[in-house]
C-alpha cells in the first residue's frame, strides 16, 4: 500500500552575525550544492535563493527525515564545502538559528515568487525585519534577547 504526503517547508537561515559575505558570483554553485544535499536526502527542492547574508529554501520534506536533521545537514555540509572551495573568502559559518514554516500547496507558488524576488525585496526590508515578520505571520513568538 502506498503512502501519500505533502510536507512543504519554507526554510531560511543566515550567516553568522548576519555577515554580508555571500557574494552573487558564488550563489549559483552554492545553490546547486545545497540542491544536491536536499536531493540526496530524498527531498524535493522547489526554489532556493538568497542575498548577501541569508538564504531561503522551499522544499518538500521526506517523511523519513526530521526537519532539524535536514537543516543541520545542509548547514554543516555547505559550510564545509564553502570553506574547502573558497567560494566566499570572508564566510565564517552559518548562524545556529533558522526559521522553518510549513506551507500549504495553495501558498507554495506565492512563496516561491517571494523567494525568487529576494534581491528586490531586500532593497526595502532588512533581514532582521523580514525574519521577525515571517515569525509573526506564522504565529511564532520572537524573543528579543536572541540575535537575528
pLDDT, one tens digit per residue, over 10-57 is 999 999 999 999 988 889 999 999 999 999 999 999 999 999 999 999
Spatial separation of the C-alpha atoms in residues 89 and 92, rounded to whole Å: 9
Q: How sure is the predictor about 140, in pLDDT bands with cuts at 50, 70 and 90? A: confident
| Burial of 54 (C-beta count, 10 Å sphere; 0-12/13-18/19+) | buried
What Å distances lie between residue 120 and 49, 76, 116, CA to CA?
A: 12, 28, 9
Report strand pairing: 8-14 vs 54-60. Answer: antiparallel
Spatial separation of the C-alpha atoms in residues 59 and 108, rounded to whole Å: 10
Segments making up each domain of the chain, as ranges: 28-47+69-94
Spatial separation of the C-alpha atoms in residues 92 and 21, rounded to whole Å: 9
Q: How sure is the predictor about 83, in pLDDT bands with cuts at 50, 70 and 90? A: very high
pLDDT, one tens digit per residue, over 90-124 is 999 999 999 999 999 999 999 999 899 888 878 88
Q: How many CB atoms lie within 10 A of CB 47?
A: 18
The 8-class DSSP code of residue 42 comes to: T
Amino acid at each position: 500500500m502506498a503512502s501519500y504526503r505533502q510536507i512543504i517547508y519554507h526554510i531560511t537561515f543566515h550567516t553568522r552575525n548576519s555577515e554580508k559575505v555571500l557574494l552573487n558570483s558564488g550563489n549559483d554553485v552554492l545553490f546547486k550544492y545545497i540542491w544536491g544535499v536536499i536531493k540526496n536526502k530524498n527531498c524535493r527542492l522547489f526554489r532556493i535563493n538568497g542575498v548577501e547574508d541569508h538564504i531561503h529554501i522551499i522544499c518538500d520534506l521526506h517523511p523519513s527525515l526530521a526537519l532539524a536533521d535536514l537543516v543541520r545537514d545542509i548547514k554543516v555540509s555547505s559550510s564545509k564545502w564553502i570553506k574547502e572551495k573558497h567560494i566566499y573568502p570572508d564566510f565564517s559559518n552559518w548562524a545556529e538559528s533558522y526559521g522553518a514554516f510549513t506551507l500549504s500547496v495553495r501558498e507554495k507558488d506565492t512563496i516561491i515568487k517571494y523567494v525568487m524576488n529576494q534581491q528586490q525585496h531586500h532593497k526595502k526590508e532588512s533581514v532582521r525585519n523580514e525574519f521577525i515578520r515571517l515569525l509573526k505571520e506564522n504565529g511564532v513568538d520572537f524573543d528579543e534577547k536572541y540575535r537575528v
